[in-house]
């Protein structure tokens, strides 16, 4: 299979093209380099019909059978990891080793989820009756994913949905459709036709999916604004929903940290993937006792970081992924300048047509500055000074979002106490960006609705059925 040409959708196990097409742009050059199909209502209908037809057989297979096929599917990713990683860099922009990391982590994740179980649970067992809790698949799942982790976030949905016996129509972001299209092509020889379908297209395609009556569940990852539209579309039929949405996550750095020891990790937690991470640190609250030394250390790391084309050896951080985001970030930086905020820039961004933004720190802006209040979703990080624990917790929680956060301190007990007071679904202590197939992941407030991963995530792709069995 040639990963670098002939991009087709997969519907019912077969290649599907359309007369209309869409260009895919390499964010390191700003120029198109690939063309993909542009699906409309007819193709969505075809994909749903194929997934519905496949559902009957797929749900009847044993979980062991489905597990074996998903493990084969994971092996196929591993065998093609280098090529998929290169394609990933070309469409998403990330530095090559980090892209390869996501592809390989995707394969590992798929295998780990494939090994999970969905046993019948006994809710009650008395002399008169036994009550069994069965978990049945829902039907056809619509999976809608963003461009920032185009590979892993698709796997987060594919693995549990298919293991539980559902079939799927996946829609990648219009900005990053290529890895998903090739993944489905790779799996045409492994999964039965119709079990896993991929459609791609423009902005109008998401609403076509969420409006389609054939879906039993929509699993969506993306922005909070779009998540609200998805929820409204799902309301008409009470379609089951998981929403993984935006965040404006904090790191709280206590006065007892060893600045030299933590700076690199803090930097990584904020700027990994050019800060296009839902769970990245987006507001860094630093205790006044260590504010200046840590700020200077972070600034030195920003100056030393190499921003460039992800396929060039030595690049640490790629471009931001798309032009609208690039323009929004430039406007955010411009606005900060015009408000006389102090900006500490990293190494200069390469010239040319690529969407490169220098890694930028904002030195203690006011709490109501746009760069603090909004999810920048790019490499512009506000550093904020604090002096009191109650005050910093109040500031951290003063956000419509509640995805994740981190607390940095040598005093683990105090850090846990702070973690328990943060209104978020995840908190890390002295670490960043942690997740794992076995650990449930959930957002609070406008960061989400429902759970992915872990036992709860797997169960969210099932219908609970209680069967009451008399003993007399
Ligand atoms: P987005 O909401 O613009 O798009 C996400 C997906 O939804 C894309 O596939 C898009 O084509 C599709 N879409 C757009 N409009 C739609 C509609 N009306 N109905 C259905 N689908 C529609 O988000 P984005 O810019 O691609 O991604 C960045 C956002 O995603 C950030 O806010 C980030 O925090 C969030 N995110 C959250 C998580 C999480 O797990 N909580 C993970 C990654 C990214």
Q: Domain extents for the chain?
A: 9-245+447-470, 250-438
Any atom of ligand 1 within 6 Å of the Cβ of 246: yes
Taking only the tens of pLDDT, the chain with its 472 residues reads 899 999 999 999 999 999 999 999 999 999 999 999 999 999 999 999 999 999 999 999 999 999 999 999 999 999 999 999 999 999 999 999 999 999 999 999 999 999 999 999 999 999 999 999 999 999 999 999 999 999 999 999 999 999 999 999 999 999 999 999 999 999 999 999 999 999 999 999 999 999 999 999 999 999 999 999 999 999 999 999 999 999 999 999 999 999 999 999 999 999 999 999 999 999 999 999 999 999 999 999 999 999 999 999 999 999 999 999 999 999 999 999 999 999 999 999 899 899 999 999 999 999 999 999 999 999 999 999 999 999 999 999 999 999 999 999 999 999 999 999 999 999 999 999 999 999 999 999 999 999 999 999 999 999 999 999 999 8
**CATH number corresponding to 250-438:** 3.40.309.10
d(CA 175, CA 169) in angstroms, rounded, equals: 18
For residue 222, the CA-to-ligand 1 centroid distance in Å is 2
Q: Which two tokens stand for residue 126?
A: 């008395």
d(CA 290, CA 271) in angstroms, rounded, equals: 20
pLDDT of residue 425: 97
CA distances from 258 to 235, 251, 293, 430 (A): 50, 15, 10, 11
Q: Which two tokens stand for residue 324?
A: 């609208």
Q: What share of the chain is helix, strand, coil (3-state, %, to 5)?
A: 40, 25, 35
Q: Is 376 helix (H, G, I), strand (E, B) or coil?
A: coil
pLDDT of residue 234: 97
Contact 397, 418 (CB under 8 A): no
Any atom of ligand 1 within 6 Å of the Cβ of 146: yes
Residue with tokens 């006011």: 366
Any atom of ligand 1 within 6 Å of the Cβ of 247: yes
Query: 102, 185, 244, 452: which one is catalytic?
Result: 244
Q: Is 32 exposed, middle or buried (0-12, 13-18, 19+ CB in 10 A)?
A: exposed
Crossing angle of helices 63-79 and 152-163, in 10° steps, is 160
d(CA 403, CA 471) in angstroms, rounded, equals: 47
The verdict on whether 278 is a catalytic residue reads yes
For residue 202, the CA-to-ligand 1 centroid distance in Å is 13
Q: Is 13 helix (H, G, I), strand (E, B) or coil?
A: coil
Phi/psi for 370 (5° steps) reads: -60, -35
For residue 243, the CA-to-ligand 1 centroid distance in Å is 10
Any atom of ligand 1 within 6 Å of the Cβ of 245: yes
The verdict on whether 189 is a catalytic residue reads no
Phi/psi for 125 (5° steps) reads: -145, 100
Residue with tokens 């008169």: 128
Atom of ligand 1 nearest to the CA of 441: 40
Atom of ligand 1 nearest to the CA of 144: 9
CB atoms within 10 A of CB 66: 21
pLDDT of residue 262: 98
- CA-based radius of gyration for the chain: 23
pLDDT of residue 472: 83
For residue 173, the CA-to-ligand 1 centroid distance in Å is 8
Superfamily of structural domain 9-245+447-470:
Aldehyde Dehydrogenase; Chain A, domain 1 (3.40.605.10)
Atom of ligand 1 nearest to the CA of 447: 41
Q: Is 342 helix (H, G, I), strand (E, B) or coil?
A: strand
CA distances from 438 to 109, 149, 216, 392 (A): 9, 19, 24, 31
pTM of the predicted model as reported, rounded to 2 decimal places: 0.97
Q: Is 147 exposed, middle or buried (0-12, 13-18, 19+ CB in 10 A)?
A: buried
For residue 107, the CA-to-ligand 1 centroid distance in Å is 23
Any atom of ligand 1 within 6 Å of the Cβ of 287: no
Any atom of ligand 1 within 6 Å of the Cβ of 230: yes
Cα 132 from chain centre: 35
Any atom of ligand 1 within 6 Å of the Cβ of 377: yes
Ordered DSSP codes for 303-317? HHPPBS-TTSTT--B
């Amino acid at each position: 299979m040639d990963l670098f040409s002939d991009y087709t959708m997969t519907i019912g196990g077969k290649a599907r093209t359309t007369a209309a097409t869409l260009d895919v742009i390499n964010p390191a050059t700003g120029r198109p380099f690939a063309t993909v199909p542009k699906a409309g209502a007819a193709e969505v209908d075809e994909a749903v019909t194929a997934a519905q037809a496949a559902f009957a057989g797929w749900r009847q297979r044993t979980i062991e059978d489905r597990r074996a096929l998903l493990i084969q599917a994971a092996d196929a990713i591993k065998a093609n990891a280098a090529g998929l990683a290169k394609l990933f860099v070309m469409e998403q922009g990330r530095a090559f080793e980090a892209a390869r990391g996501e592809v390989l982590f995707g394969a590992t994740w798929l295998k780990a989820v494939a090994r999970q179980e969905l046993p019948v649970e006994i809710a009650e067992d008395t002399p008169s009756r036994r009550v069994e809790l069965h978990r049945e698949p829902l039907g056809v799942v619509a999976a809608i994913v963003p461009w920032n982790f185009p590979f892993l976030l698709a796997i987060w949905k594919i693995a549990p949905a298919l293991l539980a016996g559902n079939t799927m129509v996946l829609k990648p972001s219009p900005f990053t459709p290529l890895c998903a299209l090739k993944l489905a092509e790779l799996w045409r020889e492994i999964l039965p036709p119709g079990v896993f379908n991929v459609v791609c297209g423009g902005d109008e395609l998401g609403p076509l999916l969420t409006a389609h009556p054939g879906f039993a569940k929509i699993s969506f990852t993306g922005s909070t604004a779009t998540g609200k539209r998805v929820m409204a579309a799902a309301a008409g039929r009470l379609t089951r929903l998981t929403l993984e949405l935006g965040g404006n996550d904090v790191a709280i750095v206590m006065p007892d940290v060893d600045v030299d020891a933590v700076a690199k990790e803090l930097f990584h937690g904020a700027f990994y993937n050019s800060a296009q991470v839902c769970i990245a640190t987006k507001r860094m609250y630093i205790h006044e006792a260590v504010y200046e030394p840590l700020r200077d250390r972070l600034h030195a790391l920003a100056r030393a970081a190499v921003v460039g084309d992800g396929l060039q050896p030595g690049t640490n951080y790629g471009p931001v992924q798309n032009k609208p985001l690039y323009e929004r970030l430039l406007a955010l930086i411009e606005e900060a300048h015009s408000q006389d905020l102090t900006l500490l820039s990293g190494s200069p961004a390469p010239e040319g047509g690529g969407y490169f933004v220098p890694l930028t720190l904002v030195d203690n802006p006011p709490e109501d500055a746009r760069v603090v209040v909004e999810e920048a979703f790019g490499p512009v990080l506000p550093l904020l000074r604090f002096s009191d624990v109650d005050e910093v917790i109040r500031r951290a929680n003063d956000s419509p979002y509640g995805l994740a956060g981190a607390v940095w301190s040598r005093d683990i007990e105090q850090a846990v106490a702070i973690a328990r007071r943060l209104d978020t679904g995840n908190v890390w202590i002295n670490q960043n960006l942690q997740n794992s197939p076995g650990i449930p992941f959930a957002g609070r407030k406008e960061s989400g609705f429902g759970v992915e991963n872990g036992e709860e995530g797997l169960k969210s792709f099932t219908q609970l059925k209680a069967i009451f069995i008399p003993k007399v």
